[in-house]
Structure 1
């Protein structure tokens, strides 16, 4: 096992020709300057020069001459196993990703999503993968728009799905679909036969879903332009709680139409357009550009897009369970 140094001396390493480590591995394997030179395709003189440099770097003879040829010193024998580990690690670090076979893959993807996206997307995605890629697993993390780029950069998540602005130069973003807003409420608790008027909207209590956990959302911004405010009685980052609250409390929730329709259909709630103008939102995938051409990650993105297109062609909700 490689033991990595926590505090790397970059100045020291910058003065070291790391190609010398490759040369040392061959010298210790061949135990002959002549054979090592032939294997590297260099002259014997050049290989002897490299050995001299290596002796200075490690402060050890490394190879000593004996009647049978050359013999590694105790220090060289101790170095050799660790050297192979280092070179294998560098080779793995720089190797091109291998082809991805979903049928045999054993891989864990870490996704950042809101619980509403989880409820709408994951049932269909898992149903598909159990047939085509049974070894694919998911770890889902809560998403925070304010730190999603940091989570991608740190590797805490492989990809996020939600409402995002464009990232930095080293992030990639693809729009999956656009969604409008709808109001959802319990018609058994709120008598609104003609839908929700602006007067109703300001008068009635509201639920607010906010992933950044602030009591102000796009609805409040739209109302402020009209010189109006609403009364928010509960703010939560968990969309899944909303239908249960609506089932028992005479309140209104304004949310993305797809999740609102899912909740309404599931427990018999009513839908209607909000009485204020709200811009459509783009639901996107966003990922770090270092994963852009990784076969497994590219395959996952293609599967999500294909799930969307397949359902669109069937005139159905692509992420509906």
Structure 2
């Protein structure tokens, strides 16, 4: 099964804590790129339609993606590779300051026929490139399932009402949506995540997933509502955690068509959340957006099961 991910690459410049004497760290990033990288690490056939400049960070990101087997297709070349200055608090939680432009033109190469398309983050809602993302997703949706992660960046979203409308347009194109509780708090202040998930289901998706950090995760379909705990883990930083969760979800659901997604049972959904949570736990246990490969993920899931008493 082949995957197409459409979206931005970003050089994450992780600031060292003030007074630590440590140097800043530069990590390949960008939510869609992280998802593609995570799928590649899990052995999946994946292409990333993106933009990379011919500069040091662009070459760094391109090589990073290729080490996981990701094919990189250029949709136009920006003057410089986008960057994000990442600040970490005492608990390793990340905040971002972006320098990014998104001017994607064109679509996937002729002959590429992915079974699944993933979109999200800055690329899906930022003009002018978002128009190309949505056009390509719409073109492929007749023969491919679609997933979406809003990965909200408030400083880049513009006026709130218009931003919500753009996000909901992407939700309506999708079969599976994953959002964090922080995403939902910005989009719909004061609303319960269960309420938002139910409303999004009415727009078209079969499954809505909500990640809640250390509080675990939630899966909602028209038939089921399932929660799962997060694995206990010592957090180094949270960069890329949600993207690792998304990659593990897509890997686990590979081959499930639209009708099958809507019919997923509670037990299956609980296992899906646990496996994706294990992937996120591996990622937060080390610096940068470095998701597990399949052997690491299998081991992490087994350890989580043992700790929680599900395996004797």
Tell me which interval the TM-score lies in, with the shorter structure as reference length: under 0.3
TM-score by length of 1: 0.23
* Structure with bigger gyration radius: 1
TM-score by length of 2: 0.24
Give the number of the structure with larger relative contact order, counting CA–CA contacts within 8 Å between residues 6 or more apart. 1
